[in-house]
Structure 1
């Protein structure tokens, strides 16, 4: 019984995880809810990373089952992954940790995504780092911060992935740069170079078992709405989004009304 089931672990640096997410190597089964974190929760996550606090692991399902409908990070719906992408081999679906994974990716890459009940894309959370005080902030604060801080010390996280050495040289040569500022920057660079996020892989599980696992591990964190619970409990790899039938008029996107 269950002789084919297996559990394995690996660790991924932030750049590796962001690469897997942005390339759709990690997907989200449609019974998972959309991104629900508030901006301050994203900032708290990055503050934890900056302090080298553990943020928990990701749980991923590796399977040769190609779900008819699923989501990619950011909320967009992808129909029939196997036919659409042409990829061979197993698929990888995030069962736990998609809120953290989404927050990490959109903080660095920016971009937009869809969430339930809104017609226009609404995830645009590119994050910045203030090397003067070692804090994170969103782009809408940039003008205010620039009035108080030299722009050379306000770093988009995306630049860490592109050319951190060039950024480090530019900051070191900026007027007013001191040991505290460089210490803050070096700590951020260390996060990108050395922080590892554990990923737990489960293999050999069918849809009913995965559905049960998802329900059991979601007893903590943000409460699932009744509709979320219903979708997860009854998930059977439908060819459409089950919530299309279950949304209330207030929640439904305009195209379904």
Structure 2
């Protein structure tokens, strides 16, 4: 039963759980949300903040029994919208961050970027120089078009292609689906010292998926007209 004591409720999720809830259709993005402006640099900066365990700001979730028209896909990943529930949860603020997180881990398609793979990789050989380092992320986080040397034709990428083949550049999704293999690969390639920088980097990303929390603000007891009025700055900003 709704009371004003739970009209605004804070919560949190891990990155993995938040995206799983999205893929399981727990969250929807209403069509009145503005279109996503997806840029490679912004995705890398987002992950740089996560890498440093900086907060990303809260995701605003509206809980309601009202069924609205929702986006059928996010970043090219299809979401069925022909289901019914006693309670729907709509993302009012956080679509950009959600799309960036989803596509950087699970891939997908980005509008106006044909044949571009949005999955993100991390180069384990790139160190964080200090706590205010604001440049190394451009080399640490990479998209496939920044790694692939196209069978030797793109000389500027040859070093990164070799590091990828040597298992020193790895995809973010592998930290979720196959972390033990990532660690095994490094040991088999001779990086057996527990304190080796590459293993430290590997464990750092593992810990991000284990311990980093996304802040959620859940709202309920609010009508559609109130959403359009109160949250117009979030929707149109």
1:55 is aligned to 56
1:142 is aligned to 147
- Kindly indicate whether residue 96 of structure 2 is the aligned counterpart of residue 96 of structure 1: no
In structure 2, how many angstroms separate the alpha carbons of the residues matched to 1:208 and 1:63? 13
In structure 1, how many angstroms separate the alpha carbons of the residues matched to 2:50 and 2:161? 25
In structure 1, how many angstroms separate the alpha carbons of the residues matched to 2:230 and 2:95? 15
TM-score normalized by structure 2? 0.79
In structure 2, how many angstroms separate the alpha carbons of the residues matched to 1:122 and 1:9? 39
Change (3 A) 1:64 1:8: same
- Kindly indicate whether residue 207 of structure 2 is the aligned counterpart of residue 187 of structure 1: no
Number of residue pairs the alignment of both structures matches:
211
2:106 is aligned to 109
- Kindly indicate whether residue 170 of structure 2 is the aligned counterpart of residue 155 of structure 1: yes
Contact 1:30 1:71 survives alignment (8 Å): no
Report the alpha carbon displacement of residue 88 of structure 1 after superposing the two structures with TM.
Answer: 2.2
Contact 2:76 2:108 survives alignment (8 Å): no
In structure 2, how many angstroms separate the alpha carbons of the residues matched to 1:166 and 1:77? 29
Report the alpha carbon displacement of residue 171 of structure 1 after superposing the two structures with TM.
Answer: 1.7
- Kindly indicate whether residue 20 of structure 2 is the aligned counterpart of residue 19 of structure 1: yes
Q: Summarize deviations over 1:33-79 as a string: whole Å, max 9, x none.
A: 12102111000100110110111110011111001354543267979
Task: List runs of 5+ in structure 1 lacking aligned partners.
Answer: 225-257
Q: 3-state DSSP class of the match of 2:208?
A: helix
Q: Summarize deviations over 1:166-188 as a string: whole Å, max 9, x none.
A: 21121232146761111111111
Change (3 A) 1:106 1:157: same
Q: Summarize deviations over 1:140-191 as a string: whole Å, max 9, x none.
A: 1222212466531111111111121221121232146761111111111110
1:242 is aligned to none
In structure 1, how many angstroms separate the alpha carbons of the residues matched to 2:73 and 2:161? 35
TM-score normalized by structure 1? 0.73
Query: What do you get for the CA RMSD once the two structures are aligned?
Result: 2.7
Change (3 A) 1:40 1:53: same
Structure 1 residues 148-157 or 190-199, which shifts more? 148-157
Change (3 A) 1:142 1:53: same
1:169 is aligned to 184
Change (3 A) 1:15 1:29: same
Task: List runs of 5+ in structure 2 lacking aligned partners.
Answer: 128-139, 149-156
1:206 is aligned to 223
